[in-house]
Amino acid sequence: MRVCVIGTGYVGLVTGACLAHIGHDVICIDNNEEKVKLMKSGQSPIFEPGLSEIMQSAINSGNIQFSSDLAAGVAHGEILFIAVGTPPLPNGESDTRYVEAVARGIGANLNGGYKVIVNKSTVPIGSGDWVRMIVLDGIAERQKTLISAGGSSVEEKLPEIAAQFDVVSNPEFLREGSAMYDTFNPDRIVLGGNSQQAIGMMKELYTPIVERKFAADTSLPPVPVLVTDLSSAEMIKYAANAFLATKISFINEVANICDRVGADVTQVAKGIGLDSRIGNKFLQAGIGWGGSCFPKDVSALIHTADDYGYEAQLMKAAVSVNERQRLIALEKLQQALKILKGKTVGLLGLTFKPDTDDLRDAPALNLIEQLNRLGAKVKAYDPIISQTGMRHGLSGVLVETDAERLADGCDALVLVTEWQQFSTLDYAKMAKLMNHPVMIDGRNFLNPEAMVRAGFQYIGVGR
Ligand code: UDX
């Protein structure tokens, strides 16, 4: 099928590359010329395991093109994905101005022939109907110019034009760092909309994925496809993220109680996770959740509830538990070192989770800020940030090139991100290079006995 993806941020580029990989004819549109140039050469502007390989093979097979020409994209696609960012405004609401601009641009460029317009961006609930309205506005504006050149009236034309497209909500559930895997092995595909024709085309688009042609285990039954109305599909995305964030805040709260009563949260998580009603995923206690989705989506849902006169108390509590949890490492450092002024603290990891270069809402940023405020010197080593030299959003921290250099002269280390390579560092050597071999394991990632054998005072979260 002919697909156009507008916006080549994380979601758009992954979607475009994966759809091209399964055989569709994809054009990815972005208004950033530099980025388009980079992608044309097969390079990914974001770090995501497996993405540049898939881009490269799609370029070689001719299944993917990159361009900054929206009109060409709209002309090409029978399915048009809107995948631009909806960053949070200071009050927690989503900023939908990029979605609006794209929807208007699509309207202004619709050229005849039926199109499905797909909301892939995480948009506020109710946006499906709003996008339809904006597209119609875009069409009307264009019609006005055509009419002044002597055509029939807009009102006469609109019903005909409005029948040329439908809007579908198709939320994504990709995790950064495993986006390729998640795309080819989804737990479900959600399609929101009320047009049979549009839903039918979306099902056809995803057939190879539904039939698990590209899955790790091709013998599994087909992927469930859930068809809902527009608002329910939009709500599913928010509710899923809010639930997962709440689940993590819950186990973090249990961890804090474990710390006080001397229980081990990793065993508790195992014990409750074996209950199939609870499940064992997203029960890893630590220094809290971050990233581009959870904080933004939970705040947006709280905000929407508020707009409709409802206080989302449980979600608000999940956020406040998380805010406190993000400073748990600081509390533990103060307990271990007492005065932090004049001490040097080394952070193992900076990104909000492993296998990504994303620092958005990373717990490390809060920690750095608070340590600086208390007069401590902060150093860090992160496998990707140290390597790429990316320092976006980072200040008040000295980025070292390896873990041993990091340990040298530190009074304590804090494991902030559970990068796999942190399981095989030479911790005995690192302990010797430190002033005080204190290890705050902010992700309960290391083996406590092994750390003690390496010479560390080991402090986990709730264990
Ligand atoms: C999340 C959702 O998982 C995904 O479905 C959605 O589309 C986007 O948001 P992502 O932000 O990439 O994906 O990361 P995820 O792996 O879900 O982790 C989110 C945060 O929770 C990270 O900061 C992570 O460290 C933290 N986390 C996760 C925990 O603290 N404990 C856990 O058990 C799991």
3-state secondary structure of 59: helix
Tell me what the pLDDT averaged over the chain comes to.
Answer: 94
What is residue 112's predicted lDDT score, i.e. its pLDDT? Answer: 77
How many angstroms does the Cα of residue 241 sit away from the middle of ligand 1?
A: 9
Q: What is the pLDDT of residues 370-419, one digit of tens each?
A: 999 999 999 999 999 988 766 666 899 999 999 999 999 999 999 999 99
Q: Does pLDDT of 172 surpass 60?
A: yes
Q: What does the alpha-carbon distance between residue 240 and residue 238 come to, in Å, rounded to a whole number? A: 5
Place of tokens 């320092």: 391
- The larger pLDDT score, comparing residue 152 to residue 303, is at 303
Place of tokens 């590359």: 17
What is residue 199's predicted lDDT score, i.e. its pLDDT? Answer: 98
361: confidence class by pLDDT, cuts 50, 70, 90: very high
293 is catalytic: yes
Q: Does pLDDT of 61 surpass 60?
A: yes
Class of 326-459 in CATH: alpha beta
What is residue 144's predicted lDDT score, i.e. its pLDDT? Answer: 77
Mean pLDDT of 130-143: 90
- The larger pLDDT score, comparing residue 177 to residue 392, is at 177
Is 289 close to ligand 1, i.e. is its CB under 6 Å away?
A: yes
Domain boundaries, the chain: 2-228, 237-324, 326-459
State how far Cα 78 lies from the chain centre. Answer: 27
Supply the residue whose CA is at minimum distance from atom 24 of ligand 1. Answer: 289
Is 293 close to ligand 1, i.e. is its CB under 6 Å away?
A: yes
Domain 2-228 and domain 237-324 have a common topology: no
Check whether 282 is labelled as a binding-site residue.
Answer: yes
Mean pLDDT of 284-312: 95
Percent pLDDT > 70 in the chain is 95
Q: Does pLDDT of 33 surpass 80?
A: yes
How many angstroms does the Cα of residue 235 sit away from the middle of ligand 1?
A: 18
Check whether 216 is labelled as a binding-site residue.
Answer: no
Supply the residue whose CA is at minimum distance from atom 27 of ligand 1. Answer: 289
Strands ordered across the beta sheet of 165-169: 64-67, 25-29, 2-6, 79-82, 115-119, 165-169, 189-192, 225-228
Q: What is the pLDDT of residues 416-462, one digit of tens each?
A: 999 999 999 999 999 999 999 999 999 999 999 999 999 999 999 99
Residue from 95, 106, 114 nearest 5 by CA = 106
Is 294 close to ligand 1, i.e. is its CB under 6 Å away?
A: yes
Classify residue 94 by its DSSP letter. Answer: B
| Superfamily holding 237-324 | N-(1-d-carboxylethyl)-l-norvaline Dehydrogenase; domain 2 (1.10.1040.10)
Tokens of 385: 């940030």
What is residue 152's predicted lDDT score, i.e. its pLDDT? Answer: 61
Return the CATH fold of 2-228.
Rossmann fold (3.40.50)
Mean pLDDT of 200-225: 98
Q: Does pLDDT of 265 surpass 60?
A: yes
Inter-residue contact 460 to 444 (CB < 8 Å): yes
How many C-beta atoms lie closer than 10 Å to residue 184's C-beta? 20
Q: What is this model's ipTM?
A: 0.97
Check whether 175 is labelled as a binding-site residue.
Answer: yes
Percent pLDDT > 90 in the chain is 87
What is residue 393's predicted lDDT score, i.e. its pLDDT? Answer: 66
What is residue 390's predicted lDDT score, i.e. its pLDDT? Answer: 63
Mean pLDDT of 76-96: 92
How many angstroms does the Cα of residue 319 sit away from the middle of ligand 1?
A: 14
Inter-residue contact 372 to 366 (CB < 8 Å): no
Among the listed residues 4, 258, 293, 410, the single catalytic one is 293
How many angstroms does the Cα of residue 289 sit away from the middle of ligand 1?
A: 7
Check whether 40 is labelled as a binding-site residue.
Answer: no
Q: What does the alpha-carbon distance between residue 32 and residue 358 come to, in Å, rounded to a whole number? A: 20
Please list, in sequence order, all residues whose beta carbon lies within 8 angstroms of the beta carbon of residue 156, skipping any fewer than 6 positions away: none
Is 445 close to ligand 1, i.e. is its CB under 6 Å away?
A: no
- The larger pLDDT score, comparing residue 139 to residue 329, is at 329
How many C-beta atoms lie closer than 10 Å to residue 202's C-beta? 23
154: confidence class by pLDDT, cuts 50, 70, 90: low
Mutate-to-test residue for ligand 1 from 170, 244, 253, highest number of ligand atoms within 8 A of CB = 244
